[in-house]
Amino acid sequence: MITREDLKQYQELLIEIDSLDVRIAEAYNTYRSPSMMSDGSGHGSEPGDPTVRAMHRVERLKEERATVMERIIAIEKFVSEIDDPRERAICNLHYLTGYTWQATCLRMRKHCSASMLVNYDRQWWEKHESKSINNN
């Protein structure tokens, strides 16, 4: 189940994906770098070989990236399936897009204050979380 805390982490997850992409690219550069290949003897697959280590690192980073992407996709799917159109819009604007509460309020057009949106969001989550607890 996705929680409001998961939504609050969404923007950080996107940053983590960017960071992992950079680290994967750097690991590939290490893998392809002539200085990181074998010592010229043509035996580059020894256990201590930098190329082998780089490829293991690439695989580990790709697995980590896939895990983070699964979380991102689960959050996006959860938001897209929120029945309440107002809460879905709030979640899209504030949590997924990263708008401040004031910017979210301006985009919503129907609310006169950001505090109303915060209160609506809090109440929706309390109701949603209590339903989840009662269903378990």
Contacts of 47 (CB under 8 A, 6+ apart): none
Mean pLDDT by 10 residues, the chain (136 residues): 93 96 84 49 55 85 97 97 94 95 87 84 89 68
Say what the pLDDT of residue 121 is. Answer: 92
Domain limits at 16? Answer: 1-81
DSSP alpha helices (H): ranges in 33-113?
A: 50-80, 85-90, 101-108
Domain boundary among 51, 81, 111: 81
Tokens 């010592």 belong to 39
Domain shared by 56 and 23, yes or no: yes
Domain shared by 65 and 105, yes or no: no
Domain shared by 76 and 94, yes or no: no
Say what the pLDDT of residue 35 is. Answer: 47
* pTM of this structure: 0.78
Domain shared by 2 and 23, yes or no: yes
The residue among 85, 83, 81 whose CA lies nearest residue 110 is 85
Number of folded domains that form the chain: 2
Domain shared by 8 and 64, yes or no: yes
Domain boundary among 59, 81, 103: 81
Domain shared by 26 and 62, yes or no: yes
